[in-house]
């Protein structure tokens, strides 16, 4: 299933417009904050699909029967660009466990690139709800490799893949390669064009650089 939240009218559209706007992008704090807000909005939408159980809660005046989250959630992000969205997800799922992955494009002289994973830290994912976020879903290759690496030793009950901006090609890649997996793809916007260098157009640029500064 693919959820393109730009097809719905909400404050999320404002956050996306500021992410894309070159006149606003220079404010790194606001860029990170908007990614964090997008993560929080997506977390709220995902929360509607999770399992709850009714428990008696004692108040100063009596007992209330309250719905409480039953699903065990793990929030995972691809560093460094995924950190602001990770924080947004945690602001909603504040009891969640955490996973972190270091993945990057290793560019070759001919202009091609390979996806490299250098660091993975994760809890046991068995029967849990995995929220895997990265602001940009371009070709889908890094997200796909990350997902396969995360589930090598333990399989989550369901995985939600989240991006601020996705390309149609990246979404199609995940649908083709993981059609038998329990995955829902969420994006705040989906763009149709992907350049030969695998940059999303109109996109927003390099999310990691815009959030934290240029790489050496």
Q: CB 171: neighbour CB atoms within 10 A?
A: 19
Q: Are strands 97-107 and 113-121 parallel, antiparallel or unpaired?
A: antiparallel
CB contact set of 153 (below 8 Å; sequence gap of 6+): 124
pLDDT attached to residue 48: 97
Q: Which domain holds residue 39?
A: 2-212
CA atoms within 13 A on the CB side of 172: 7
Mean pLDDT value of segment 139-164: 94
Residues 2-50 have pLDDT tens digits of 999 999 999 999 999 999 999 999 999 999 999 999 999 999 999 999 9
DSSP class of residue 198 equals -
Residues 76-132 have pLDDT tens digits of 999 889 999 999 999 999 999 999 998 766 666 666 667 778 889 999 999 999 999
- Domains: count for the chain: 1
pLDDT attached to residue 112: 66
* Contact between residue 89 and residue 133 where contact means Cβ atoms under 8 Å apart: yes
pLDDT attached to residue 45: 97
Question: Which CATH number characterizes residue 10's domain?
Answer: 3.40.50.2020
pLDDT attached to residue 214: 86
Query: Could you tell me the pLDDT band of residue 198, with boundaries at 50, 70 and 90?
Result: confident
Residues 38-90 have pLDDT tens digits of 999 999 999 999 999 999 999 999 999 999 999 999 999 998 899 999 999 99
Element (H, E) at 34: helix 28-47
Task: For residues 206 and 216, give the distance between their C-alpha atoms in angstroms, rounded to a whole number.
Answer: 14
pLDDT attached to residue 109: 66
pLDDT attached to residue 92: 98
């Amino acid at each position: 299933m693919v959820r393109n939240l730009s097809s719905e009218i909400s404050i999320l559209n404002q956050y996306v417009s500021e992410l894309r706007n070159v006149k606003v992008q220079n404010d790194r704090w606001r860029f990170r904050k908007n990614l964090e807000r997008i993560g929080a909005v997506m977390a709220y939408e995902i929360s509607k699909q999770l399992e709850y159980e009714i428990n008696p809660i004692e108040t100063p005046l009596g007992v209330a029967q309250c719905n409480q989250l039953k699903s065990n959630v793990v929030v995972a992000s691809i560093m460094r660009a995924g950190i602001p969205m990770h924080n947004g997800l945690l602001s909603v799922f504040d009891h969640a466990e955490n996973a972190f992955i270091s993945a990057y494009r290793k560019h070759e002289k001919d202009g091609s690139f390979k996806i490299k994973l250098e660091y993975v830290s994760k809890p046991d994912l068995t029967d849990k709800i995995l929220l895997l976020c990265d602001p940009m879903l371009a070709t889908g290759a890094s997200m796909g490799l990350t997902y396969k690496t995360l589930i090598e030793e333990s399989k989550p009950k369901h995985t939600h893949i989240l991006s601020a901006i996705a390309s149609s090609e990246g979404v199609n890649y995940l649908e083709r390669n993981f059609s038998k997996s329990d995955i829902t793809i969420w994006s705040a916007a989906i763009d149709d064009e992907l350049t030969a260098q695998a940059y999303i157009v109109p996109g927003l640029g390099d999310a990691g650089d815009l959030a934290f500064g240029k790489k050496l």
